[in-house]
Amino acid sequence: MKQGRLIQHGWVLMVALILCLGPAPWTMAAEITILKSSDIGYYDEAVQGFRSALPPRTTIKEYSLGGSVARGRELGKTLRASPPDLVFAVGLKAAMAAKLEILDTPVVFCLVLNPESHGLPTANMTGILMKVPVERQLQAIRSLLPDSRRIGLLYDEDKSGPFVAEARRLASQQRLDLLAVPVHAREEVPSALRSLLPKVQGLWLIQDQTVVTESSIPFLLQTTLDAKVPLIAFSSTLVQQGALGGLVVNAWEVGQQAGRVTGAKLRGDSVPGRPLIEPERAQLALNLHTAEYLGLTPSADVLRLATVLYGSGAVAKTQKLDDVIP
């Protein structure tokens, strides 16, 4: 009997403590505004992943900028007057609008190539990077090109110097000889590429703003195909258009990761890797038609690991070309 009263008394104390403390922060209702650069499937997938990571009581308002930073700035000014608990920005234009107009409210952004080159993030912002760590990219190259040793790379020292320095250091661990050729202007890319291709067994395309442009992408794809040199890219769109393959970031998974980061920020927890966080996962993309054209036969392990396939009836979602340009 005495033990029963003690148990009952313990439950009373526990209930009283819960009532005093209130609900856990992430179970409380939160107001979140989503700013989306435009209405394209790639961004929509990130938004869906983000929403899936939020608790049911979250109030969400979603706006599309329609590709206009000016509209994003107007929305940002409105949000300043009545700020939500957090803003989720998807795409470069949404992130730039948030940078320019939302100065105090926490912002989480994603699907922005090379955010540092755009002055992102600012003090109140956290971003999910689209770059896969160098070591994992080199491992993917070894998987896709197991018999190749000499891999070429074009880069601008001012934009990608540290990345390439790390790649050089790690390449030998993957038994790769990395021949990295610097270019200083976009106009130098065609001649540098033509000079490089006869010397290498594969070309690694990285997210470099000087090398990867709207005008250079068709040239890079066609020239490497004509030379029958496999191109390893960073985007599923580039793989679909003719690159052999590469590690690519899945928009839905990045959105879900942003949702978990949002939860941590609203709870007041520290966020590892702030202000820029590496993507937790990447997918191996593979173009089977390109492999056949190049006379390559992907191993059973590569086919098993490749979750984004093109060719031979394979279908995968893709982003617009504009969204793969750094």
Alpha-carbon distance of 121 to 98, in angstroms, equals 10
If asked whether residues 52 and 122 sit together in one domain, one would say yes
If asked whether residues 174 and 308 sit together in one domain, one would say yes
Does 16 reside within a domain?
no
Does 240 reside within a domain?
yes
If asked whether residues 124 and 175 sit together in one domain, one would say no
Closest to 208 (Cα-Cα) out of 278, 164, 155? 155
- Residue 281: count other Cβ atoms within 10 Å of its Cβ: 13
7 burial type by CB count under 10 A (0-12 exposed, 13-18 middle, 19+ buried) = exposed
| H or E stretch at 196 | helix 189-196
Token pair listed for 259: 């949702």
If asked whether residues 169 and 292 sit together in one domain, one would say yes
Q: How far is CA 238 from CA 61, 118, 205, in A?
A: 33, 23, 10
If asked whether residues 198 and 94 sit together in one domain, one would say no
If asked whether residues 139 and 111 sit together in one domain, one would say no
Taking phi over 0 as left and psi of -120 to 50 as alpha, with beta for the rest, 14 belongs to: alpha
Q: Which residues pair with 195 in a beta bridge?
A: none
Domain total in the chain = 2
If asked whether residues 115 and 155 sit together in one domain, one would say no
Does 124 reside within a domain?
yes
Kindly report, residue by residue over 165-220, the tens digit of the pLDDT.
999 999 988 899 999 999 999 999 999 999 999 999 999 999 999 999 999 999 99
Kindly report, residue by residue over 52-87, the tens digit of the pLDDT.
999 888 999 999 999 999 999 999 999 999 999 999
If asked whether residues 120 and 221 sit together in one domain, one would say no
- Residue 172: count other Cβ atoms within 10 Å of its Cβ: 11
Q: pLDDT 10s digit of each residue in the chain, 326 long?
A: 444 444 444 444 443 433 344 434 455 679 999 999 999 999 999 999 999 999 888 999 999 999 999 999 999 999 999 999 999 999 999 999 999 999 999 999 999 988 998 999 999 999 999 989 999 999 999 999 999 999 999 999 999 999 999 999 999 888 999 999 999 999 999 999 999 999 999 999 999 999 999 999 999 999 999 999 999 999 988 999 999 999 999 999 999 999 999 999 998 887 776 799 999 989 999 999 999 999 999 999 999 999 999 985 443 444 555 555 55
Dihedral sign, Cα of residue 321, residue 223, residue 117, residue 237: positive
- Residue 177: count other Cβ atoms within 10 Å of its Cβ: 14
How are beta strands 150-155 and 125-128 bridged, if at all? Answer: unpaired
List the CATH number of the domain containing 236.
Answer: 3.40.50.2300
Closest to 52 (Cα-Cα) out of 245, 263, 243, 211? 263
If asked whether residues 56 and 198 sit together in one domain, one would say no
pLDDT, residue 29, reads 79
If asked whether residues 170 and 317 sit together in one domain, one would say yes
State the residue range of the domain holding 160: 134-249+281-324
If asked whether residues 87 and 180 sit together in one domain, one would say no
The angle subtended at Cα 29 by Cα 23 and Cα 35, nearest 5°, is 145
| For helices 251-267 and 41-52, angle between their N-to-C axes, nearest 10 degrees | 40
